[in-house]
Structure 1
């Protein structure tokens, strides 16, 4: 039995993958209450702490075999201001405090790819003692996630060098693997009116995955725009009269804005506002040419985004629609986490390496 601590745990994407690989969480820390409630709904309230990580005392940090976590990355992300003085960037120091106290055999840091070239990562390498570091970029699609998502992974080991895992899949799973068969027309635009007490406060939920298949009410103008976007297309496929002025004047860049997914390819990165096509390539992939071609003109639903992130359908959710979308977009894909967990196991136990079970592979055999 291998124990783990999940820091900046979010809704539990990393814990989900590690738990599938047989690890037992003994502590998780998450500041956002709705995300912490989702974590508790799936993994129990006994070990989740809904608080600022800096308030947890050293004496309350348990020993663990592994620590995982992704310190907030707003200062490193291409989408952020990339302000190195952003106080959220220094939260990796809290991560190191937990490492020093819990004394894990291995720790794993997950972050945006720019993290590896940041001055903060250079400082981290200078401050960590007794651990051999391996760092690089992993592509989620190489590990069975139907999504193009590049993430920086750092593995620290005090039991000898541990390389990053090598890809487990020689072919990528397409969008069709997880979206095909779901109702094309969501029956509702609202989550069920229910609430639950978690961690001392009432939150919306608990919702089953099926509850997350919710639509939106796009304007007539939005619907007219959607109909012009073919699979793999984007804002450049719109007639000039349907383009807002900012798009007419900006003739380069942002190619995935107002984009449509392809059935036969993985999605692009699922971010926190996947329900807004103007934010990325989030339109449903069903589109046929011709005036009467069969088209599904809507953005993907929360359930579809969760599946693209490789969350299992048995996962449960808490929060508002916006909060759950943030949880989905910010999460480490559980299938990627499981691949990392399975890769670490033989180094931690002396056992034989195993290949993580992929729930989608049988679809294409």
Structure 2
């Protein structure tokens, strides 16, 4: 029987997909998904089983009935961690992990899996999370993991907090990696690369989100002549400093004045490395290393989805900006699958002895 899952702050459903889909893990059934992003909830509902609800978590918790579940998953948004958001210093509102743990408690779950930014690991707020979990009877472990070590073609470092009680086995935490960086001497397969993820896609030729996979999201911006000249001045693996050297006359003055930092800004990806972290504005090269390795353009939405590890048959719902936000905020499904297999093992029956 599938383990029942509640997915909080679910976004498009990358974490649920990694648990539910047999290509990644399997053995789980999402019975409830909750998020306040309407487009993301629509995406979750199209692709995954269970009830998908668009609501703020505190409001829903006050008005809704928490179903019984085996596992609660999700990543309270980093804006909720006041110690990670300096603009909220002194703000006494509840951090978003608090209603998350309220639902863990009310659901009767034996396991919770929390995913968030790497900075959470060294935040005093992690101590608060673990202390509250301990009061609810949970043991916890936490660490920072790199999604490239688990089959995603992207280096994305995230804090994972695992809580458990009343399960059959102690967790094998963190899960063993399936891939390793080249040059480390490991016998594991090398990290998946940008080339392996997107090289088969043709250059984008149309500007639409309609159609059949994989080209339904294969669109990008319509760059100006100046933007094209800027793109051409940056070699594979290069960045804004190459732009400044090769085309100073079209380099923004603010970049010329800033002589250090920002080495990913206006950068090109490398073919034979994983992608950098895909964020919500990956279609803007001024935001990071989001230029295609050899074509003079930013990566498309389809390429970004592949670099997150989403299969082409996963359907996104919403506008271009809404879909980009869903992709950039997601948990890479291959990484989620590794976490799911670890959680599934906790519920394996204990063999009877003669």
Report the TM-score when normalising by structure 1: 0.85
Tell me the distance in 2 between the aligned counterparts of 1:8 and 1:208: 26
Deviations 1:237-296, CA, capped at 9 Å, x for gaps: 01322211100000000000000011100010000000000000011112xxxxxxxxx1
2:121 aligned partner:
116
Shift of 1:41: 0.8
Structure 2 unaligned spans of 5+: 180-187
Q: Assess, with a 3 A threshold, how the Cα gap between structure 1 residues 14 and 77 changes in structure 2: closer, same or farther.
A: farther
Structure 1 unaligned spans of 5+: 193-205, 287-295, 353-365
Residue 285 (structure 2) pairs with residue 266 (structure 1): no
Tell me the distance in 2 between the aligned counterparts of 1:127 and 1:227: 53
Are the counterparts in 2 of residues 310 and 334 from structure 1 also a CA contact under 8 Å? yes
2:309 aligned partner:
310
Shift of 1:103: 1.7
Aligned pair partner of 2:132 in 127, 131, 151: 127
Aligned pair partner of 2:155 in 131, 148, 151: 148
1:234 aligned partner:
239
Tell me the distance in 1 between the aligned counterparts of 2:103 and 2:315: 28
1:94 aligned partner:
99
Residue 273 (structure 2) pairs with residue 254 (structure 1): no
Tell me the distance in 1 between the aligned counterparts of 2:94 and 2:278: 22
Helix, strand or coil: the match of 2:309?
Answer: coil
Are the counterparts in 1 of residues 150 and 335 from structure 2 also a CA contact under 8 Å? yes
Q: Assess, with a 3 A threshold, how the Cα gap between structure 1 residues 231 and 77 changes in structure 2: closer, same or farther.
A: farther
2:348 aligned partner:
349
Q: CA RMSD in A?
A: 2.2
Residue 111 (structure 2) pairs with residue 106 (structure 1): yes
Aligned pair partner of 1:50 in 54, 58, 68: 54
1:5 aligned partner:
6
Tell me the distance in 2 between the aligned counterparts of 1:309 and 1:118: 26
Tell me the distance in 1 between the aligned counterparts of 2:212 and 2:126: 38
Q: Assess, with a 3 A threshold, how the Cα gap between structure 1 residues 32 and 269 changes in structure 2: closer, same or farther.
A: same
Tell me the distance in 2 between the aligned counterparts of 1:87 and 1:227: 49
1:182 aligned partner:
201
Deviations 1:6-41, CA, capped at 9 Å, x for gaps: 000001000100102220011110111000001111
Tell me the distance in 2 between the aligned counterparts of 1:56 and 1:76: 20
Shift of 1:121: 1.6
Helix, strand or coil: the match of 2:290?
Answer: strand
Q: Assess, with a 3 A threshold, how the Cα gap between structure 1 residues 240 and 190 changes in structure 2: closer, same or farther.
A: same
1:243 aligned partner:
251
Shift of 1:297: 0.2
Shift of 1:86: 6.0
Tell me the distance in 1 between the aligned counterparts of 2:126 and 2:142: 10
Aligned residue-pair number: 328
Shift of 1:119: 2.7
Are the counterparts in 1 of residues 152 and 307 from structure 2 also a CA contact under 8 Å? yes
Mean CA deviation greater in 112-121 or 337-346: 112-121
Helix, strand or coil: the match of 2:20?
Answer: helix
2:184 aligned partner:
none
Shift of 1:104: 1.1
Are the counterparts in 1 of residues 10 and 35 from structure 2 also a CA contact under 8 Å? yes
2:319 aligned partner:
320
Residue 312 (structure 2) pairs with residue 297 (structure 1): no
Are the counterparts in 1 of residues 81 and 96 from structure 2 also a CA contact under 8 Å? no
Shift of 1:122: 1.7
Shift of 1:117: 1.8
Residue 27 (structure 2) pairs with residue 22 (structure 1): yes
Shift of 1:63: 1.1
Deviations 1:134-163, CA, capped at 9 Å, x for gaps: 100110000000001000000001136422
Are the counterparts in 1 of residues 80 and 96 from structure 2 also a CA contact under 8 Å? no
